[in-house]
């Protein structure tokens, strides 16, 4: 097991190196010289030369890459260009609000997705099943923007059930007051694709031999679906939850922006608007690293759920 983890981590190195080089090339080569942007409109030659020296972009590329590697290793990306706030501090302080929305959202989505998928599996092929699937397709076709705009307008602005936007100090206040509507919207958006997918996982299992054996033994349909099928469908579901975490970011970015939640997603959008390269670079590299770790975690969980899976 330990050997497996070590080898997987070792295999991540070339990918991580690739991510770093890609980000480096994008910002230091494709992105061009940011010193004119930083110096403002009334810049003179001396000011620009000064900025170039500070950023290190008067150095050869390999020195610049070295600077970037050192920044990644020491978590010190200097200060954000737009606000002067240290980048490390930005990332650390924006993580909490993002997780306050994402963690409950992921838990609720997985729970409702599984429960509904198993319930639908009972009535597979029926009119209910077909109607739910068509509703899912329609639900998935409406842009998340529309969900956010309409839900925010009706539930927060018109009916006043939730704050229109904002963020508090304590976790309890945020979770119960400010994060509630974003979580509901996230759930409304994600439940349709999740349900469709989990239904297909469940239906894959329903036709297996062990289900026939269980029926022959005289087990109740309820027990077959909720115990036997669920255990076997768990593996693709875990993969999906893990693989979907980065994809959840898309919704999280927009939710954070609309509801004024000071999270990672809103920070990225602000940074792109302000051409604040250090912030984007840092977030991209660390999110990529986190994504790889989640993939590893998913593989480790297979082994825990299914004894047939051997991690070598």
Partner 1 sequence: MMHHEISPGLWTLAWRRLRADRLAMAALGVVGAFILLLLLSSSGLVAGDWEDEVAVNYAPPSFVGPDAAGAALARPQAPTPPNAFDPLAAELEVLKAEVHAGHPPRAKALTLPFGADKWGHDIVKKTIKGGETSIVVGLVAAFVAVALGTLFGALSGFFGGVVDDVFNWFYSIFTSIPSILMILTVAAVLQQKGVLTIVLILGLTGWTGPYRLIRAEYIKHKAREYVMAADAIGASSWRKMFSHIFPNVSHVALVQLSILVVGFIKAEVILSFLGFGVPVGTVSWGSMLNEAQNELILGKWWQLAAAAGAMALLVTAFSLFTDALRDALDPKIK
In sequence order, which residues have a C-beta less than 8 Å from that of residue 292 and are 6 or more positions away?
A: 12, 15, 16
Among 18, 56, 66, 166, binds partner 1 (CB under 8 A): 18
Residue 15 in contact with partner 1, rule: CB under 8 A: yes
The contact pattern for partner 1, residues 161-200, with x = CB under 8 A and - = no contact, is ----------------------------------------
Contact pattern for partner 1 over residues 79 through 118, marking x by CB under 8 A: ----------------------------------------
∠ CA 95-99-105, rounded to 5°: 155
Q: With respect to partner 1, which residue has the nearer C-beta, 183 or 192? A: 192
CA–CA distance, 145 with 133 (Å, rounded to integer):
22
> Which of these ranges, 41-49, 113-121, 173-181, 279-287, lies near partner 1 under the rule CB under 8 A?
279-287
Whole-number Å distance between alpha carbons of 93 and 266: 12
143 sits near partner 1 (criterion: CB under 8 A) = yes
126 token code pair: 């029926």
> Which DSSP symbol is given to 79?
B
CA–CA distance, 283 with 187 (Å, rounded to integer)? 25
Minimum gap (Å) between residue 290 Cβ and partner 1: 9
Task: Say how far apart CA 110 and CA 259 lie, in whole Å.
Answer: 23
Decide whether 128 or 220 has the Cβ nearer to partner 1: 128
Number of neighbouring beta carbons within 10 Å of residue 132: 19
Q: Give 301: exposed, middle or buried? Use CB within 10 Å, 0-12, 13-18, 19+.
A: middle
The residue among 28 and 174 lying less far from partner 1, judged by its C-beta, is: 28
d(CA 68, CA 141): 41
Stretch that binds partner 1, among 30-38, 64-72, 166-174, 218-226 (CB under 8 A): 30-38
Contact set with partner 1 (CB under 8 A): 14-16, 18-19, 22-23, 26-27, 30-32, 137-138, 140-146, 149-150, 153, 157, 246-247, 249-250, 253-254, 257, 268-269, 271-273, 275, 277, 280, 283-284, 287-288, 291-292
């Amino acid at each position: 097991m330990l050997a497996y983890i070590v080898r997987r981590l070792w295999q991540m190195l070339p990918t991580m190196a690739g991510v770093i080089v890609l980000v480096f090339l994008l910002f230091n080569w494709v992105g061009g010289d940011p010193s004119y942007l930083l110096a403002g409109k009334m810049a003179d030659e001396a000011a620009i030369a000064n900025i170039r020296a500070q950023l290190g972009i008067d150095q050869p590329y390999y020195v610049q890459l070295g600077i970037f590697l050192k920044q990644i290793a020491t978590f010190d990306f200097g200060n954000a260009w737009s606000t002067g706030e240290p980048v490390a501090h930005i990332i650390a302080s924006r993580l909490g609000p993002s997780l306050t929305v994402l963690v409950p959202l992921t838990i609720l989505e997985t729970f409702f997705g599984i429960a509904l998928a198993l319930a639908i599996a009972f009535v597979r092929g029926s009119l209910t099943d077909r109607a739910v699937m068509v509703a899912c397709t329609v639900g998935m076709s409406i842009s998340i923007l529309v969900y956010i705009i309409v839900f925010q307008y009706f539930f927060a602005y018109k009916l006043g059930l939730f704050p229109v936007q904002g963020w508090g100090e304590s976790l309890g206040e945020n979770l119960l007051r400010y994060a509630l509507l974003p979580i509901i919207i996230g759930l409304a958006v994600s439940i349709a694709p999740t349900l469709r997918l989990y239904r297909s996982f469940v239906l894959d299992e329903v036709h297996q031999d062990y289900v026939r054996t269980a029926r022959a033994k005289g087990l109740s349909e309820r027990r077959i679906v909720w115990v036997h099928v669920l255990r076997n469908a768990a593996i693709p579901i875990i993969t999906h939850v893990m693989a979907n975490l980065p994809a959840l970011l898309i919704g999280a970015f927009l939710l954070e922006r609309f509801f004024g939640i000071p999270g990672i997603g809103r920070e990225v959008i602000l940074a792109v608007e302000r051409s604040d390269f250090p912030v984007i670079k840092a977030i991209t590299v660390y999110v990529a690293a986190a994504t790889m770790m989640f993939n590893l975690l998913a593989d480790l969980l297979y082994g825990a759920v299914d004894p047939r899976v051997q991690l070598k």
